[in-house]
Structure 1
Amino acid sequence: MTENKNYQNPEVQEPENDEITIDWMDILRRIYTIRKTLYKAAGIGVVLGIIIALSIPKQYTVTVTLSPEMGGDKASGGLASLASSFLGGGATSNNNDALNVTLAPDIVASTPFVLELFNTRVQTLDEELDTTLVTYLDEQRTPWWGYIKAAPGLAIGAIKSLFTEEADTTVTLNPFQLTEKEAAKVKGLRQSILAEVDKKTAMTTITVTLQDPKVTAIVADSVVAKLQQYIIDYRIKKAKEDCAYLEELYKERQQEYYEAQSKYAHYFDTNRNIAFQSVRAEQERLQNDMNLAYQVYSQVAQQLQVARAKIQEEKPVFAVVEPATIPLEPSGSSRKVIVVGIMFLTVCCTGAWKLLGQDCWKKLKSKI
């Protein structure tokens, strides 16, 4: 007896069309039945959104755009090259150790750079506060949940202050060893100041975000000025060291030439009418010493003029495309958007719980 291999038990046969259908009318009907709950959730969301929106302080952003000089070959057209050519020397070589403009974000985020900003004088828009930046940072508002988060640390600090003497507030900042409070300020200011560089165009964008519009503009302008000075000092550091060395060498060679010249003149005047060969030989030797000292003195003087010109040549040029201005409107999300967003989130979470969460929770409880 042969069995039919194509026979399938209808009880285990899989359906051919297993499609999931969504009954939209049932979903709308269920939403309609919980409409009062959704109204309450919307009201709670509005209240919660207002509380959160009012707790978040306003932030103002100032953006400054710089176009730094691109590093190119200055050997053929720089001031040092022109000075060298006029004085009879060769062309100077290009300085390859110049600071790359792409390092601006790292410079702005470095601890020494941030610490230099602490003593910047700032003034609020209402002119009620005129102080340093490090003092202004203590005046900035924080949301109420920030105080809750910092409450344990504040309590521990208050207890420690009862058993320790008050520290001297005039101590200068030490980048090598910062206190916990100073490190927190450095971290907060580092997050408020950002620098970005477009690698294609070398355009540098400095963005500063703080709570007062005038303070933000002042800090942004100070960041740009300090960044420019930092790069300039780095670029001309080697040239200034070379120039200082040549200054000392120039004075030494000048003194040697004057001494050789004085010896020759004194010997020539003393032995002018003497016709001995030994006198002439000594006179010729002193004259050669004087000429040699003059040649060395002249070469050092030429190199000094080239070094002085190179200091000006090495200074980079910054074109401020977009200067710092006091912003008129706060940045970030407006309070209306925050209220609407929290209300929408509250309604969605409540609806999801009522439509899906409760049934799943009941099933899970029944199984447990």
Structure 2
Amino acid sequence: MSTIENNQLEDNVEISINFGEIFRTLKSYRILIAMCAVLFAALGAIYSLTQPNEYSSNAKLLPELDSKSGGAGGMGGLKSLAGLAGVDLGGSSSGAEAIRPDLYPNIVQSAPLLQEVLKAKIYSTKHKKWQTVLDFLSEKQDSAPIDLGGDPKDEDVVSDVKLDKVPSAALSADLMKLNKKEQAAIKKLRSSVVLEIDKKSGVISLTTKLTNPVAAANITSLIQHYLTKYVTDYRTQKARQELSFLEKRLSESRARYDQALFTLSAYRDQNMNLFLNVAKDREKKLQYEVDMAYNLYTTISGQYEESKVKLHRETPVFKVLEPAQVAIQKDGPKRSLITIGFMFVGIFFSLIYVFFKTVNLKELLG
């Protein structure tokens, strides 16, 4: 019976918090808490000043949504919208849907595309001259208000491998041979460039963040150009190959027709007054070859014109909603937020210290 009474008493125990005692404790340690807040705020301000200013340049594109493929009422457009969400509706699709827009971020981050960007030239406001993107990214960028030293070396790029000691036969012709300077520049580009796609509207947003606003805008424009060129080349590759093939066949069929017509005309000139059946049969044979060559030439000529129309139809259209602009205000760092954040961290640690200083842990742990 006593056990039941004890359980009932424990259930009826009320946990009370004495806010007055907590306020008095905090008041007695107010100087310590304020000193910690000020100290951490000062550390946060110093840290924020060691971070260089960053500027963002943004460009927005609207890709063409294909509506040619099967289904009534624009089923192809529905497939394209589904492709933005990574959903495949199946069915036949045209060559223009070879690359889904959700693959564009992978294309922008690919080494071959970034290597082409490194070769382009931009104007350096620091040196007052044109230089390649590779040279710009390889040199020390604009420093912070408080400069604690040079740019740290990328340890991931440092390597002792000497490619000049490797036999040329051991390296495939398809391999990319990048030196340390190019690897470091590509690494910086990958961390600075972000491509996002709005799955509802299909709008592509390309953003580049660097310490130089002019360079950020130029690189955004370059990547936008190379991205549209890459997608266009990929989606029209088959049509261009077909057009090139038909162009060669058209030239050959034209030469064959001209040769057959010349042979027939020469034979008629040499046998104008002959009435032998053998001569007539020979003339019929030559005329037959001319007709065949002409039919082949007209057929390939028609296919060649159709191929040119198909190439134009398969060429994607990218509408530039917002071109890249030079930022006039810095995008970061948010020095005031960093300072306030450090201040709250200081207050938090000071409160923990006060808690363990004033609370009797033996009574608290029972």
Distance 1:42 1:310 in 2: 69
RMSD, matched Cα? 3.4
Name the counterpart of 1:53. Answer: 48
Post-superposition offset of 1:213 = 1.0
Give the number of equivalent residue pairs.
Answer: 328
2:25 equivalent among 5, 8, 30: 30
- Quote how far apart the aligned CAs of 1:179 are: 4.2
Q: Aligned to 2:57, which of 55, 62, 66?
A: 62
| Higher mean C-alpha deviation, range 115-124 or range 321-330 | 115-124
State the alpha-carbon separation in 2 of the partners of residues 313 and 97 from structure 1: 12
Q: CA deviation at 1:44?
A: 1.0
1:187 deviates by: 2.2
Deviation string, structure 1 residues 1-32 (Cα, Å, up to 9, x no partner): xxxxx554756764232332221111111111
CA displacement, residues 201-238 of structure 1 (integer Å, 9 cap, x when unaligned): 22111111111111111111111111111111112221
CA gap 1:60/1:334 in 2 versus in 1, 3 angstroms: same
In structure 2, the CA distance between the partners of 1:97 and 1:68, relative to structure 1 (3 Å rule), is: closer
Q: Is the 8 A contact 1:111 1:175 kept in 2?
A: no
Cα distance between partner residues in 1 of 2:107 and 2:207:
14
Alignment of 1:186-335 (within 5 A): 186-335=186-335
Query: Quick one: distance in 1 between partners of 2:324 and 2:132?
Result: 19
- Residue aligning to 1:176: 176
For residue 329 of structure 1, give the secondary structure of its aligned residue in structure 2.
Answer: coil
Cα distance change of structure 1 residues 284 and 48 upon mapping to structure 2, 3 Å threshold: same
Query: How does the TM-score come out when normalised to structure 2?
Result: 0.79
For structure 1, list consecutive stretches of 5 or more residues without a partner in the other structure: 1-5, 76-92, 165-173
CA distance in 2, matches of 1:296, 1:152: 63
Deviation track 1:46-96 (CA, whole Å, cap 9, x = no partner) reads 320121010011111111110011122189xxxxxxxxxxxxxxxxx9435
1:349 aligns with 2:354: no
Aligned letter for 1:114? Answer: L
Shift of the 106–8 alpha-carbon distance from structure 1 to 2, 3 Å rule, reads closer
Instruction: Write the distance in 1 (CA, Å) between the matches of 2:153 and 2:220.
Output: 32
Q: Give deviations 1:148-167, integer Å, cap 9, x for gaps.
A: 9958969xx7xx9xxx9xxx
Q: 208-217 vs 126-135, which deviates more?
A: 126-135
Indicate the percent of aligned positions where both proteins have the same amino acid.
26
Call closer, same or farther: CA 1:350–1:275 in 2, change over 3 Å. Answer: same
Which amino acid is the alignment partner of residue 229 of structure 2?
Q
Q: Counterpart amino acid of 1:139?
A: K
Q: Which runs of 5+ in 2 are unaligned?
A: 71-92, 163-173
Map Cα deviations across residues 97-143 of structure 1 (whole Å, 9 max, x no partner).
53322221110011111111112322345664642222222322578
Q: 1:149 to 1:275 in 2, by over 3 A?
A: closer
8 Å contact 1:232–1:315 — kept in the other structure? yes
Question: For residue 43 of structure 1, what is the aligned residue in structure 2?
Answer: 38
| Cα distance change on mapping 1:236 and 1:7 into 2, 3 Å | closer
- CA–CA distance in 1 between the matches of 2:355 and 2:153? 39
User: Using the alignment, how far apart are the partners of 2:198 and 2:205 within structure 1?
Assistant: 8
SS in 1 for 2:331: coil
- Specify the SS of the correspondent of 1:118: helix
Equivalent residue, structure 1, for 2:76: none
User: Is this contact kept in 2: 1:30–1:355, CA < 8 A?
Assistant: no
Structure with greater Cα Rg: 1
Distance 1:206 1:142 in 2: 25
Secondary structure at the residue paired with 1:15? helix
Per the alignment, residue 140 of structure 2 pairs with 139
**In 2, Cα distance between the equivalents of 1:22 and 1:71?**
66
Matches within 5 A, 1:57-136: 57-73=52-68, 94-95=94-95, 98-125=98-125, 128=128, 130-136=130-136
Report the CA distance shift for 1:271/1:363 in structure 2 as closer, same or farther (over 3 A). Answer: same
Deviation per residue, 1:322-357 (Å, 9 max, x gap): 11111111114521221122112112211222223x
